[in-house]
Chains A and B, each alone.
Chain A
Amino acid sequence: MAIFGDLKDIGVLDIFPIIAPQNGRFVVEDGGRHLIFYLRGGRLVCAYVNDTPLSPAGVEEVFLELARNGRGRFRFEMNQAPTQCNAALNLPADELLLRVATLKDEIEHVEKALPHPRATFILVNPEKAKADPELYTFLQHAWPHLAKGASAESLSLELKMVKDRVRYLLYKARLLGAIQLKTRERRRKEPSGLVRRMLAFFQRRSRQASV
């Protein structure tokens, strides 16, 4: 007997509470990625993406991504322990689960109001985000990029974070007035003769249509 399936049918937040108290490894084949999470006694011992060990922050990002856009085959292999743990995590699985579920809910709650992934923002007053420690920490990391202007898409690549999470943090930063949309100044100027000729054309068409 084995626990297996596809994340598109059973979400990671549904399957993880079942396997978390057990000892073994949770394997996800997600497109080109091979994800392995080693569990022991309710704790996440270590995790790898294509053999690269994940940091605690990295684990949260990967879990959030799986929870938001989860797809790919998964299986749980009982009593499989890591031969070595290059970067020991020792994270309580229930805390990780709760944290990711909360984040997922928060993002989905304001989903429609999130900025476009490629809308560019610029830092104006990061001190306004100080009351939100998580947001402030994010802004500190994003500072050099946001000082020049950065989008959720570019920041997610630079900071190795899930794009929708960056969109959510930018949404909050903007609400607090810590960042603002970076717009571009128009350099090209149309010849006024051309603009007036076009205006005359449209006005003529408008008159013709009303006759």
Chain B
Amino acid sequence: MNTPLKIVVTGPVGAGKSTLIRTLAKGGYVDTDARATEAIGKATTTVAMDHAVMDVGGTTLHVFGTPGQERFDYMWEILAEGALGTVLLARADRPGDLPKARQIFEFILSQSEVPYVIGVTHLDAEEAWAPEEIALFLRADPTLAVGFDPRDPKDAIRPFVRLLDALDGKR
């Protein structure tokens, strides 16, 4: 039997983590959203973690989404243990969230050797940063920044394909 694999999706509140995992899961999804009690820019927020399971040719792939709130940072370390990679999400239309995205990104880079890609969401907004510009702000490799729509099943796969490409040695 193949060892299960996992990929961790992380990023600030409202970056699209739950949406991405719901899109990927096609129903096999654990929803842990709760109604937001403070102004965070959306009606609900993830209070535990999102989880989707996929069968990849006989190997089970678990995709975990971390809660965006800072007090759950410790969960990232637990989830990242032995992970295949991390998808860090950042919103292109909310520059105010980018410092938080950078905090998470730097935390990940210094705590773990897990490979990463940067998934940039909300590129369809009237004003939006380009994925490469976001990578520049995060001091990250711009070739690892991918713009995508987490609501679109075809598009939602793009950061995962880029992550696997990177693992396969492609820049």
Contact indicator per residue, chain B 103-117, by CB within 8 Å of chain A (1) or not (0):
110110111111100
Partner of B56, one of A113, A183, A198: A198
Q: Select which of A113, A181, A205 is within 8 A of B109 by beta carbon.
A: A181
Decide if A9 is an interface residue (CB 8 Å cutoff). no
CB–CB A201/B113 < 8 A = no
CB distance from B7 to the nearest CB of A (A): 9
CA distance A199 to B106 in the complex (A): 27
Give B168 Cβ to nearest chain A Cβ, in Å: 5
Could you say which interface size class chain B belongs to?
20 to 34
1/0 per residue B99-132: CB within 8 Å of A? 1100110110111111100000000000000000
Distance in angstroms between the alpha carbons of A199 and B157 in the assembled complex:
10
Report if A186-B99 is in contact (Cβ < 8 Å); known contacts: A181-B110, A202-B160, A202-B164.
Answer: no
Residues of chain A within 8 A (CB-CB) of B73 are 116, 118
- Would A120 and B111 count as touching, CB distance under 8 A? yes
Return B103 CB to nearest CB of chain A, in Å.
Answer: 4
How many residues of chain A get a CB closer than 8 Å to chain B's CBs? 35
Q: Which residue of B lies closest to A115 (CB)?
A: B106
Name the distance in Å between A84's Cβ and chain B's nearest Cβ: 42
Tell me if A184 and B115 are in contact (CB < 8 A): no
Please measure, in the bound complex, the distance between the C-alpha atom of A99 and the C-alpha atom of B55, giving whole angstroms. Answer: 59
Q: Assess A184 versus B168: contact at CB under 8 Å? Given A116-B103, A197-B59, A210-B154.
A: no
Let me know if A109 is at the binding interface, CB within 8 A: no
Q: How distant is the Cα of A196 from the Cα of B167 in the complex, in angstroms?
A: 9
Q: Mark A109-123, 1 if CB is under 8 A from B, else 0.
A: 000111110111100
Given contacts A112-B100, A205-B157, A206-B157, A151 and B165 within 8 Å (CB-CB) = no
- Nearest chain A CB to B104's CB is how many angstroms away? 7
A157 CB within 8 Å of chain B: no
> How far, in angstroms, from A111 to B34 measured CA to CA in the complex?
27
Contact B56 A188 (CB under 8 A): no
Residues of A within 8 A of B160 (CB): 202
Which chain A positions have C-beta within 8 A of B111? 118-120, 184
Do A184 and B113 form a contact, CB below 8 Å, given A112-B99, A115-B106, A199-B168? yes
16 A-B residue pairs with Cβ-Cβ distance under 8 Å, sorted by A, are A112-B100, A114-B103, A116-B103, A119-B103, A121-B110, A183-B110, A184-B110, A194-B59, A195-B167, A199-B161, A199-B165, A201-B57, A206-B154, A206-B158, A206-B161, A209-B153
A-B pairs with the 5 shortest C-beta distances? Answer: A209-B154, A120-B110, A116-B107, A209-B153, A112-B99
